[in-house]
Chain A
Amino acid sequence: MKDFRYLEGVATLVLNEEKCIGCGECEIVCPHGVFILDNKKAAVIDKDGCMECGACALNCPVSAIEVTPGVGCAAYIIQTWVKRKDSTACGGGAVCC
């Protein structure tokens, strides 16, 4: 999203171009246009646009993409600090989504 930008240089996204088979799935699923398919290889063109949703990594058939996926939600992160991770609920008692 060009009109909204968040912190720069933090995204954990890594693309292994050697593994890439150029299927273009990452380019389709990314809602922020982070990838582009160029010469039958995916390339990251806007890493700071990445919100780490993990859609690309999950849909890469050859596991060429790595990202630490998660919810960019302060209330959720506070819960993970206080409680154990598996007992946190996004949207339940707390905010977000």
Chain B
Amino acid sequence: MNENSCCGTKNSVGPTGLQIQPFSSKQADDEVCCGTPAGPPSSPYEKPGYQIVRFVDGFMDMDSGLVPKVNTHLSLFDIAGSIMTRVGVNRNRYKISPGLYGIGNPTPDSPVLVTANYKLSFDTVRKELSGINAWLLVLDTHGINVWCAAGKGTFGTQELVKQVEASGLKQIVNHRKLVVPQLGATGISAHQVKKQCEFKVIWGPVRAADIGEFLNHDMKASVGMRRVTFSLPERLVLIPVEIYIGFKPVLLTMFLLFLLSGIGSDFFSFKNAWERGLIGISSLVGGVIAGAVLTPVFLQNLPGRAFSIKGAVAGIVTAIVVVLWYWKDTIWLETIGLMLFVITISSYLAMNFTGSTPFTSPTGVEKEMRKAIPLQAFALIVAAISWIGAGFL
């Protein structure tokens, strides 16, 4: 090996043990040798075993330690991550390190905003803080959003007090106020926080998009900022996850449909399993579309208060389409089976959508379920009997 080639040059070790770069400030632009030119050197803030995340631009040296400075621009990397999470991929691990972050050039007078360590929440907040100097205190909610984490108590009084102490916030700011998103009130008790760490909780707006206006208006929220909404876009973003979560049970049901469709007077017919199975699978897809897509989209227009009823109505419409589509390929008993199957799947999935809405009470959901589930189970059994029975006719 040629000792003089660019990579072959021995790095001399200086007296302090530090590696001294070879005397060549220029990149190796002459030869290919090590492939592409080297990237920038490591940042002095890097530590073994740690990695500086992409949204951190630098660090502020405070008495209590280093505080990372966060940029407010969402990169393609952040947007791709959000899309993946919305679809359901890697959703349970999409989180950032809890603790204190700086936005812009925060001073001891700057407001302190509290959020969750779900990266989607964090990104939404920092994007809205563009041009604002603030501190962002991120609680460890195990990667869950503020509303859901507050319901579980991880976005809670104890965790908030813990992060206030751990970050040394009292030495960093000269006020004693924390802006907590209003939907965190399910987990955080303002008077308890005040008692335990002297900080007064100011309830911020429900939506991150209103933070700028809220801060500009002396931390006063309008009535509109205080109310949850469930608009069409807010409902649409929830649909992919509903489908992603339902994917495994749907695959299993497809397999069962092939099995059931093959049973008949010939004991088991692969031809029937395939042909009738495909009809069954189309109905299943119809039921999923009715319950997990049509019901959320037309939530306001579908009749009934109970979600199982809304889902059943969307299911009836879809079932009619499915039945007409296969009119020539099916007999009357199969028609009954298909109708009941589509309606039941839709009703059940619609009922599960209650968990994604911000207005259904647990007492109400339980009441609805106690009535709906026995009916759904009965309908499903009748559907299965009709479908299998038709194989013998």
Question: Which A residues lie at the B interface, using CB under 8 A?
Answer: 1, 3-8, 10-12, 25, 28-29, 31-33, 49-56, 58-59, 61, 68-78, 90-92, 94-97
Contacts and interface: CB of A to CB of B under 8 A. Distances in A.
Contact of A52 (B152, B190, B300, B363): B363
Interface of B: 92, 144-145, 147-148, 150-152, 182-183, 185-191, 203, 206, 223, 226-230, 242, 245, 299-300, 305-307, 351-352, 354-369
Nearest to B305: A7
26 contacts: A1-B229, A1-B359, A3-B230, A3-B300, A4-B299, A7-B367, A11-B361, A25-B191, A31-B206, A33-B223, A49-B359, A51-B361, A52-B363, A59-B190, A59-B191, A69-B151, A71-B355, A72-B359, A73-B355, A73-B356, A73-B362, A75-B355, A78-B369, A91-B144, A95-B355, A96-B148
Contacts of A33: 223, 226-227
Which 6 A/B pairs are nearest by Cβ-Cβ distance?
Answer: A73-B355, A96-B355, A97-B148, A70-B362, A55-B185, A72-B360
Contacts of B186: 53-55, 58, 69
Given A92-B92, A95-B242, 6 more contacts: A3-B230, A4-B299, A6-B305, A53-B186, A69-B151, A96-B148
Nearest to B360: A72
Contacts of A91: 92, 144, 148
Given A1-B230, A7-B306, A50-B361, A72 B355 contact: yes
A11 B188 CA distance: 22
Given A28-B182, A58-B189, A68 B359 contact: no
A75 B245 CA distance: 11
Contacts of B145: 97
Contacts, number: 148
Contact of B203 (A28, A54, A77): A28
Contacts of B150: 55
A68 B364 CA distance: 12
A87 B182 CA distance: 28
A58 B152 CA distance: 13
| Secondary structure of the A contact surface, majority rule | loop
| Secondary structure of the B contact surface, majority rule | helix
A47 to B, nearest CB: 10
Contacts of A77: 362, 365-366, 369
A32 B364 contact: no
Contacts of B147: 97
Contacts of A4: 230, 299-300, 357, 359
A71 B228 CA distance: 16
Given A74-B352, A74-B369, A92-B92, A8 B305 contact: yes
A91 B120 CA distance: 15
Given A51-B361, A72-B365, A90-B151, A29 B203 contact: yes
B352 A90 contact: no
Given A4-B357, A53-B151, A73-B355, A32 B227 contact: yes
A93 B204 CA distance: 31
A63 to B, nearest CB: 11
A49 B226 CA distance: 14
Contacts of A6: 305, 359-361, 364
Contacts of A56: 185
B148 A31 contact: no
Nearest to A51: B361
Contacts of A53: 151, 186
A4 B364 CA distance: 14
